[in-house]
Amino acid sequence: MENNQPSLELKHFINGKYQKSQNQETFETINPANNKVIAKVSLGNQNDIDNAVAVAKNTYESGVWSNLALNERAQVLHKIGDLILENKKALALAETKDTGKPISLSLNVDIPRSAHNFHFFANFLTGFKGDSYFNNPNEMHLAIREPIGVVGLITPWNLPLYLSTWKIAPALAMGNSVVLKPAEWSPYTATLLGEIVNKANLPHGVLNIVHGYGPNSAGSALTSHPDISAISFTGETSTGKAIMAKASSTLKKLSFELGGKGANVIFNDANLDDAIPMALKAAFTNQGQICLAGSRLFVHNSVFETVKNKLITLAENMRVGDPLKTETEIGSLISTQHVEKVVDYIAIGKAEGKLLTGGNQILGQESTNFIEPTIFSEIPNSSRLCQEEIFGPVLPIIKFTDDDNLLEMLNSTPYGLSASLWSSNIDRCNYYARNLKAGIIWVNCWFLRELATPFGGAKMSGIGREGGRYSLEFFSEAKTITYKYGNHW
Ligand code: NAD
């Protein structure tokens, strides 16, 4: 029998040191691709959060980081980015074991992007300027930005290091101290980041990491803590609502990156050679567990059969299996609970529409957390399959004609994170880009990101924007200082 007792222990990282929970409690993190326990993880609670916040507050007030010159802060951030790249293989392996995502994705996207988050904000920081106004000869008005203090970051499991560094890098860039609560399903790479920041000489106590669950655990303790000045959260819309309610008594600044139901639209004049392979990627990358996924595909009736047939062929050729094999394109979903949710949606699809391909859990692996890329047609746009975030490899294709009110269909979900438009008619693209209620519109592309641009969602997909100056503004407080001069001369 396999020894399933983990020797690895993932502890909190507080004041530059790995520490167990004060009450010694732990939970397990499991490799969803084989259901083996990877590690015991310290289970944080209110006391551990109190401790981490107190450390972060003392560190902040000491000025050891918040008063450092910008170029010195930037140097440390660059060093963290460099060390992430130096440790790319180990980090990618940890990420894949913890989440079931294909190793090629961890190696080529998640980990390099985590490094880039630090390099990008290190560079961007030094060009981030305040304002000054000299409209009257006897007055000078300065608008400066200062750190906010101690910020709480709460992150999801689908892109663990990628999304936690997307928040940590700008929060540190602005001189704050941080308490991060990583997702309980994927605590591994955040823990490894502790070693990296120590090697990069980030002062102890600037970045603190506390593991645990959300409600009635480390997550909610962070959101209600009076010494946390701001919360940046990425996760489900329903969790965003809970955090907002909890944070209201201490009036924290909030930034929310929430769920999505991205529309991908292929018009009759689209370049199908580009549009079809990208529609496949948009639907199935990371097993469909991406907030920006193109998870409902609208196709004009004149090209519908071509797009449908090609997509079915491509989906059936996707290599599903062991996430550690470099050729694997679809790995395992995050957990058995999540698989059950996705399987329920597949059942709705079978009842309401036509299954074109997939639809099965793949058995015979060491775990049953693998699901075939699944495509449906003939599903009404009002169906839950087209309206709700499934967060799995399930794609409804919706045929539209010139007589349909396409814009209304596209805007019909409660979400408004992203959409992709495929057409060679620039006027048409402009019309939809301007009238879609979403934070990010891609024209003839998907997932292309320039980190300086605002990132975030409309409607139930979020509050605020992150990226470039939007992140730096969120993680800082504006202050006006006005000087009045006398008439001495
Ligand atoms: P989740 O909301 O279940 O959990 C996210 C984090 O919140 C975890 O760390 C969890 O422990 C914590 N949490 C849960 N309840 C909490 C509470 N009451 N108080 C404080 N913390 C709490 O989300 P998930 O399942 O980890 O991630 C998937 C979701 O994230 C999807 O909806 C996806 O669209 C969304 N997401 C959005 C973006 C974006 O940029 N908009 C990016 C990635 C993922």
Blockwise average pLDDT, block size 10, the chain, 489 residues? 67 98 98 96 98 98 97 98 98 98 98 98 94 91 97 98 98 98 98 98 98 98 98 98 96 97 98 98 98 98 98 98 97 97 98 97 86 97 97 98 95 98 98 98 98 98 98 98 83
Query: Which stretches of 1-138 are assigned E, i.e. beta strand?
Result: 9-10, 12-14, 17-19, 26-31, 36-42, 131-133
pLDDT for 360 equals 96
DSSP state for residue 320 in the 8-state scheme? B
Task: Quote the pTM value.
Answer: 0.97
Please, which residues have CB within 8 angstroms of residue 386's CB and are 6 or more apart in sequence? 261, 296, 379, 380, 396, 398, 413
Domains along the sequence of the chain with CATH: 8-258+461-479 (3.40.605.10), 263-443 (3.40.309.10)
Q: Which of 167, 211, 228, 239 has the most ligand 1 atoms within 8 A of CB, as the residue to mutate?
A: 239
Cα separation of 487 and 477, whole Å? Answer: 33
Contact status, residue 354 vs residue 383, Cβ threshold 8 Å: no
Q: Which of 158, 224, 455 has the most ligand 1 atoms within 8 A of CB, as the residue to mutate?
A: 158
pLDDT for 3 equals 45
Q: What spacing in Å lies between the alpha carbon of 380 and ligand 1's midpoint?
A: 28
Contact status, residue 174 vs residue 145, Cβ threshold 8 Å: yes
Which stretches within 248-396 are classed as H helix?
A: 272-284, 304-316, 336-352, 384-387
Of 326, 327, 340, nearest to 368 by C-alpha is 340
The answer, yes or no, to whether any atom of ligand 1 lies below 6 A from the CB of 188, is no
Contact status, residue 237 vs residue 164, Cβ threshold 8 Å: no
pLDDT for 1 equals 37
Contact status, residue 384 vs residue 402, Cβ threshold 8 Å: no
The answer, yes or no, to whether any atom of ligand 1 lies below 6 A from the CB of 236, is yes
The answer, yes or no, to whether any atom of ligand 1 lies below 6 A from the CB of 440, is no
DSSP state for residue 106 in the 8-state scheme? I
Burial class (CB in 10 A: 0-12, 13-18, 19+), 20: middle
Cα separation of 365 and 31, whole Å? Answer: 13
pLDDT for 489 equals 59
Cα separation of 143 and 298, whole Å? Answer: 47
pLDDT for 488 equals 65
Distances (CA, A) of 194 to 51, 80, 93, 329, 382: 17, 10, 17, 30, 46
Task: Indicate which residue's Cα is closest to atom 26 of ligand 1.
Answer: 156
Task: Indicate which residue's Cα is closest to atom 11 of ligand 1.
Answer: 214
Q: Which of 27, 154, 181 has the most ligand 1 atoms within 8 A of CB, as the residue to mutate?
A: 154
Q: What spacing in Å lies between the alpha carbon of 297 and ligand 1's midpoint?
A: 24
pLDDT for 471 equals 98
Task: Indicate which residue's Cα is closest to atom 40 of ligand 1.
Answer: 257
Cα separation of 254 and 166, whole Å? Answer: 16
Q: Which residue's structure tokens are 């001369």? A: 489
Which residues are catalytically annotated?
257, 291
The answer, yes or no, to whether any atom of ligand 1 lies below 6 A from the CB of 467, is no
Cα separation of 259 and 238, whole Å? Answer: 9
Cα separation of 226 and 224, whole Å? Answer: 6
| CA 257 to ligand 1: nearest atom | 41
Identify the three-state secondary structure at position 114. helix
Cα separation of 297 and 142, whole Å? Answer: 49
Cα separation of 471 and 59, whole Å? Answer: 22
Cα separation of 178 and 230, whole Å? Answer: 10
The answer, yes or no, to whether any atom of ligand 1 lies below 6 A from the CB of 291, is yes
CA-based radius of gyration for the chain: 24
Cα separation of 269 and 284, whole Å? Answer: 24
